[in-house]
Amino acid sequence: MITGANAGIGKQTALELAGLGAHVVLVARSEERGQAACQEIINQTGNKLVDLLVADLSSQAAIRSMVDTFKNRYDRLDVLVNNAGVFFSNRQVSVDGLEMTFALNHLGYFLPTILLWDVIAAGGPARIVNVSSDAHRGAKINFDDLQCEKRYQGFTAYGMSKLANVLFTYELDRRRQGTNVTVNALHPGFVASNFGQNNGGMVGFFMKRIVPWFGRSVAEGAATSVYLASSPDVEGISGKYFTDSKPVQSSPESYNVETARRLWEISEQLTHTNFPTLAVPA
């Protein structure tokens, strides 16, 4: 399963995994764009095992509905690539009343993973791949203003959400002990895709007109996701942060265990869910 898979590095990841013979499930917000992406992947790879689930991952109800549909169709999930992400120059609020960057970029990873955990852990070796960003470097989780209600800056909110991805990865790695599931995060690089083009003004202009001149190709941006999802080289490796298919150190703040546990607990509260399968090691 690849989220945010109708365009950009999400679609490229799905394309390359389908090319390797995987049964791929795309998650997209738009039925029309999602179906078009599925057909394009089938046409390019000849692999007809390409399915679509439609969900707005900023909506917790939509996530739960998507997970229910998945479980009705399939009995296991070998690889989950949490890829969907967004940047907003102006503060927006999700249907659940949460700041949109946090809702989509963090809880849009957290909630599907927790709800899908039983079918992930039930099969053979399974992998969770969280697409983060080096934008997490220098960021901190502001628990006093987690929803950016007091002050909103787009790049600050985005950096905090990408730090949350890494913190979530490391905390899930601590909690997954006893299962045959690995979880890793990655930085895809600065990619010339449609990311951020939803914004107007100078941000939208920069993303549409300037980034394509010096950003990485979509294939280059998806390479580490594909590597972590499929390569035998990373079998059994978990709790790492990768750049260019190599493990590197993430920011010092990302290794703060207390911050990770606090963020996890708040995320459970905000999503009205929990992770009861395993206890946290002392």
Q: Which residues are catalytic?
A: 158
Q: Give the Cα separation of 229 and 100 in Å (integer).
A: 27
Which residue blocks in 123-247 are alpha helix, DSSP H? Answer: 154-175, 201-205, 211-214, 218-230
Q: Give the Cα separation of 195 and 63 in Å (integer).
A: 21
User: Is residue 60 within 8 Å of 34, Cβ to Cβ?
Assistant: no
> Within a 10 A sphere around the Cβ of 36, how many other Cβ atoms?
16
CA dihedral 236, 240, 241, 242 (to 10 degrees): -30
Closest CA to 198 of 40, 64, 58: 58
Q: Give the Cα separation of 108 and 115 in Å (integer).
A: 11
> Within a 10 A sphere around the Cβ of 10, how many other Cβ atoms?
28
Tokens of 140: 């901190």
Q: How many helical (H) and strand (E) elements, i.e. helices and strands, does the chain have?
A: 10, 8
Q: Give the Cα separation of 233 and 222 in Å (integer).
A: 17
User: Is residue 101 within 8 Å of 88, Cβ to Cβ?
Assistant: yes
